[in-house]
Amino acid sequence: MSEEQSITYTAQAGGHLTGQIRVPGDKSISHRSIMLGSLSQGRMTISGFLQGEDSLATLKAFRAMGVNIDGPDEQGKVIIEGVGMHGLSAPDEPLDLGNSGTSMRLLTGLLSAQGFDITLAGDHSLSSRPMKRVTDPVMQMGADIETNKGGTAPLKIHSDENTRLTGIDYTLPMASAQVKSCVLLAGLYAQGQTCVTEPAPTRDHTERMLQGFGYVLDIKKLDAQSSQICLQGGGQLTACDIDVPSDISSAAFFMVGASISQGSDITLKHVGINPTRIGVINILQQMGADISLSNEKEIGGEPVADIRIRYAQLKGIHIPEDQVPLAIDEFPAISIAAACAEGQTVLSGAEELRVKESDRIQAMIDGMNILGIDCEGTKDGMIINGGEFTSGTVDSLGDHRIAMSFAMAALKAKGAITIKDCANVNTSFPDFIGLAQSCGLQVISKVDV
């Protein structure tokens, strides 16, 4: 799909969600499986790899650096021949990471001491997002990185055989799994120990997967919220097979859609329920959602379950700040639930939402105002008064999560909702339209001429 091509969704009012579906594989785990698998010793197989544009950008980047990667096939099977920690080669041109902030931020750490110069580039959206929060700590470790004015991409990483990183003890200014992961991945190549202290829990896929590949980590709980993760540089990764669970961030749209539409009863199969990712379940249940888990098990170090959601009348709440990092990507969808709840919902402590693919706070407020919801943004969150969606046209600003959230809003709207600029849904959720239609959402997609 070219960057010039624009897609518009039109979602008709009403309906409900029923049946059993499996949403695509977890994007966070798909990214990391390619990265660590490429640097490991041996051959590995990934099952259920997410074939979205973001994770495919990571796969293509490692192919460009000389890694033999077969797939993905139609079932998401990928086979990687690992090249070891120092087996990557310089690509012929800058790595084009498309719209993937995860790829750029994690690779900033991973590629900071490979012994060759490399440039990380992306599309217009990615090139406008802040990168200093990853480049600053890695440069403290000794990396040589050039950015555009304002700390944005493209990122030019200079490295040769004399480049040496030194481990640091870094305290995150705000809870962020991407910054934590970037520093830890740079620490693999640093002399001595690298430690990251996080002020609140964030998704821990990097730590789980490093340990799954045989890397030793020291993880300490410092108090009720904060923890410290340490590793020694200079180790090796041993290949292991990975079965990628369904992405809870993608499941969140269907959780919200079923919760707000009367008559809904849907089961989402094989969803990852990592404790650092289940904020959306916790928050919706506090709002009164009817959500139950079954068939719980552990696959490759990651807990999974089937999730059943039935319609329930939701109530507004003050979202606990300790749940915010556990649901940071799901707040566009949670905002739709809040708009359909009785009373007021208050979100605070979520300033990171302003520097995602869009300013997600402002994008949701603007869209919900257009659709008749009384809400306002704050510096670090929003205040939403429950009401009823009317019809109208909203702009997703090229943000996949904004687009899918407003599509679900139509289930509880008085009229059709048109959503502009939806092409980037393919970054995380290929065939969202087909799967949503199969369980009851009346939505169509058209390419704008």
Query: Which residues are annotated as catalytic?
Result: 329
Using CA atoms, how far apart are residues 420 and 403, in angstroms rounded to an integer?
8
Instruction: Output DSSP code: residue 300.
Output: T
Backbone angles phi and psi of 190, in degrees to 5 = -95, 150
Cα 124 vs. chain centroid, distance in angstroms?
A: 19
Distance of CA 400 to CAs 60, 97, 403, 437, Å? Answer: 21, 16, 5, 17
Helix (H) or strand (E) holding 230: strand 227-232
Answer for the pair 95, 88: CB distance below 8 angstroms, yes or no. no
Cα 24 vs. chain centroid, distance in angstroms?
A: 13
Cα 309 vs. chain centroid, distance in angstroms?
A: 22
Question: Based on the number of CB atoms within 10 Å of its own CB, is 281 exposed (0-12), middle (13-18) or buried (19 or more)?
Answer: buried
Helix, coil or strand: residue 232: strand
Answer for the pair 46, 77: CB distance below 8 angstroms, yes or no. yes
Among the listed residues 204, 3, 206, 177, the one whose alpha carbon sits nearest the alpha carbon of residue 99: 3
Question: Based on the number of CB atoms within 10 Å of its own CB, is 216 exposed (0-12), middle (13-18) or buried (19 or more)?
Answer: exposed
Using CA atoms, how far apart are residues 240 and 243, in angstroms rounded to an integer?
10
